[in-house]
A = this chain, B = another copy of it.
Amino acid sequence: MKELISIVDKKLDEYLQIVYPEDIFKAMKYTLMLPGKRLRPVMCLETARLLGCDIEKVMPSACALEMLHVQSLIHDDLPCMDNDDFRRGKPSNHKVFGEANAVLAGDALLTFAPQLIIEKSKGLLSDSQILRIIHEYTKFAGAYGLIAGQVVDIESEGGKLVKSPEETLDFIHLNKTAVLFRLAVRIGVICANGDEKVFDEFDEFATKFGLAFQIYDDIMDEISTFEELGKSIGKDEASGKLTYVSLYGLDEAKCKFKALIDECYGIIEKYNSKIFREILDKLKNRIFG
């Protein structure tokens, strides 16, 4: 896993060169290059590898996933959104580069990600594979995916619920968190030319993993420290945010988390993936270890 993370880090650094006007590229690169778990790229690469695809072919798309993720973090941290001064233990993007540049750096990453996929996948993937990846990217990144999750999340903080709290929470978790893990494995399957059955299998894995990951995040916001997480904590409770913990309580949250993680082990078992096991183990041990 560590090796894969360092390959991704190296590629991210290589793909995003700083040119004129330097300030925007520096702002894009600042949050992108903060040390992270690179979960989405790693899951994308590992899915493709398990299905017999050379990870070189998947690298541009995998790195694009991290850019998309980082874009959502930069905009999420803005004063008008979650207003968070720290990210991955460092001052957030707008604290370093100002709000205007943070807005534009997010926009630029959102556009650069598909550009990277197109430019660096040429010759490695077919036109129809590339087009399918870009299509998935736009569907999952936008108002039918990630952004829908963010909007409902913000609305729920203001107490504005169109659906029941349970349905609303499901919608937020599926769209705000699970969506990028789903996108990651789906891109892996596309690169490997996997069939519909494999698609569904990995999609189910990623969906359950995403839900578990968000419940994990909700639990950590309740029980962890700033040093551990590298971002402000206890914010969910302070803002009256709808979370798994606030809706079902800490014990029920832990049970649900464990059940989902165990289902993930089950779905992925036959592939005998050291990396997926490591990811699941780590998450489980942080809560129960």
Contacts and interface: CB of A to CB of B under 8 A. Distances in A.
Contacts of A100: 78, 80-81, 154
A232 to B, nearest CB: 17
A155 B97 CA distance: 12
A25 B147 CA distance: 10
Given A115-B138, A138-B112, A152-B21, A75 B101 contact: no
A134 B118 CA distance: 9
Contacts of A151: 21, 23-24, 101, 104
Contacts of A162: 20-22
Determine the interface band of chain A, counting residues with CB < 8 A from chain B: 35 or more
Interface string A13-28: 0000000111111001
A107 interface: yes
A139 interface: yes
Given A103-B78, A103-B103, A138 B114 contact: yes
Interface stretch (A125-133, A218-226, A240-248): A125-133
A155 B23 contact: yes
A80 B100 CA distance: 5
Contacts of A147: 24, 104, 107-108, 111
Contacts of A130: 131
B150 A135 contact: no
A130 B130 CA distance: 11
Nearest to A99: B80
For this chain, the copies found in one complex come to 2
A51 interface: no
A115 B131 contact: no
Contacts of A196: none
Contacts of A78: 100, 103
Given A114-B138, A115-B135, A134-B134, 7 more contacts: A21-B151, A21-B155, A75-B104, A78-B100, A80-B100, A111-B138, A115-B138
11 contacts: A21-B155, A23-B155, A24-B143, A24-B148, A104-B147, A108-B142, A110-B111, A111-B147, A115-B135, A127-B128, A134-B134
Interface of A: 20-25, 28, 71, 75, 78, 80-81, 98-101, 103-104, 106-108, 110-112, 114-115, 118-119, 127-128, 130-131, 134-135, 138-139, 141-143, 147-148, 150-152, 154-155, 162
In the complex, the 7 A-B pairs of residues with the closest C-beta atoms, listed nearest first: A111-B142, A80-B99, A115-B138, A108-B143, A24-B151, A108-B147, A118-B135
